[in-house]
Amino acid sequence: MMSSVQIPNVLNWISGDVAIDLGTANTLIWLKGRGIVVNEPSIVTRNVLDDSIVAVGDEAKAMLGKTHRELETIRPLQDGVIADFKMTDGMLQGFINKINFSRMARPRMVICVPSGVTEVERRAVKDSGERANAREVYLIEEPVAAAIGIGLDISQPIGNIIVDIGGGTTEIAVISLNGVVTKETIRIAGDEMDESILQWFRNEHKLEIGLGMSESIKKSVGSAMQMSTKTISVRGRDLVTGIPKTIEVSSDEIRQALKDPVNAIVEAVKRCLEQTPPELAADILERGIIVAGGGSLLRGIDQIIRERTNVPVNVAEDPLLSVVKGTGMVLENLKKYEAVLL
């Protein structure tokens, strides 16, 4: 046990092993012995003239849609995988710098990846970790990390089904004996919901809104099922006249806008259940479906899955943190969880 003597400032660097939930929407970093130290949007602002990174995370998100022509705000991860290698590296480095991480440290890293990723995509994530100075990089599938983070004992011969609705992907996996038995991954999740709302305003109201506005509409009045009707004022640019205008819309309209992505998620859950061996299906019927990830916060998503599958549904206690918590728990005990690492 180290004494709590104050280390001189110059030496006050942090080192230790790191767990990373590299998400399309948000990146979370867990430091061994400390817990979550970073929880910020997976966004980078770069200078287009020299490709240098100007801001990452919260600072970059604040610039979204407000940059001049020399600056560009990008999301280096699309659909749960790395779309821009250089910017992902820069973003990871930016987050690691924020936590005052020692440049001398060669940590072990556990990074989670979507369960449907290819060998090439896995390699890209490992390389990114290695370029961030890791001495060893382990990968874990997101639904497995979520199950561990929720507190399930996945080493038992009992079937558990996790539906992880993230930003870029929705992953459904039946897990038993430390492994994924059946899985479905679709590249439809929170981002697709935002895009659907945006398109709906274009088509129905000839109104151009930004993705930030679209996301806040989803959070405030979005739902998967009929709920009590609310009205919201939406500001955007009139596509006909080109000038700003404000309109009133109801939550019922937004539900219509979200119908396609919600249906796609429900259908994917049904496909995964259909592929599940009967013994595990019996466990699932008894234990229910667990929904995690940011998309699980959409009102009524649990009810619509319950209605259409006839299986009980529970939303995880801390749905946004399940994956990083699970990745962190694996990091804290690599020996115990050896079987689930890729």
Average pLDDT of the chain to the nearest whole number: 90
Report which of residues 312 and 133 the model is more confident about.
312
**Polymer length of the chain:** 342
- What pLDDT was estimated at residue 15? 61
Domain boundaries, the chain: 9-42+78-143+324-340, 158-188+260-316, 190-257
For residues 93-105, give the mean pLDDT: 79
CATH number assigned to the domain covering 158-188+260-316 = 3.30.420.40
Distance CA 262, CA 69 (A): 36
**The pTM is what?**
0.88
Q: Phi and psi of 312, rounded to 5°?
A: -60, 145
CATH topology of domain 9-42+78-143+324-340: Nucleotidyltransferase; domain 5 (3.30.420)
Q: Which residues contact 263 (CB under 8 A, 6 or more apart)?
A: none
Q: Which CATH superfamily is domain 190-257 in?
A: ATPase, substrate binding domain, subdomain 4 (3.90.640.10)
Q: What is the pLDDT of residues 42-62, one digit of tens each?
A: 999 999 999 999 999 999 999
Cα 74 to chain centroid distance, Å, stands at 16
Contact 255, 226 (CB under 8 A): yes
Contact 42, 76 (CB under 8 A): yes
Distance CA 272, CA 183 (A): 6
Q: What is the pLDDT of residues 142-192, one digit of tens each?
A: 999 999 999 999 999 999 999 999 999 999 999 999 989 999 999 999 999
For residues 61-65, give the mean pLDDT: 88
Contact 19, 110 (CB under 8 A): yes
DSSP 158-193: --EEEEEE-SS-EEEEEEETTEEEEEEEES-SHHHH
Distance CA 156, CA 163 (A): 19
Q: What is the pLDDT of residues 4-45, one digit of tens each?
A: 334 334 334 556 899 999 889 999 999 988 899 999 999 999
Q: Fold identical between 9-42+78-143+324-340 and 158-188+260-316?
A: yes
Q: Is the pLDDT of residue 101 over 80?
A: no
Q: How distant, in Å, are the alpha carbons of 260, 272, 278 from that of 157?
A: 35, 18, 13
- What pLDDT was estimated at residue 81? 83
- What pLDDT was estimated at residue 213? 92
Q: How distant, in Å, are the alpha carbons of 21, 30, 199 from that of 318?
A: 15, 15, 30
What percent of the chain has a predicted confidence (pLDDT) above 90? 74
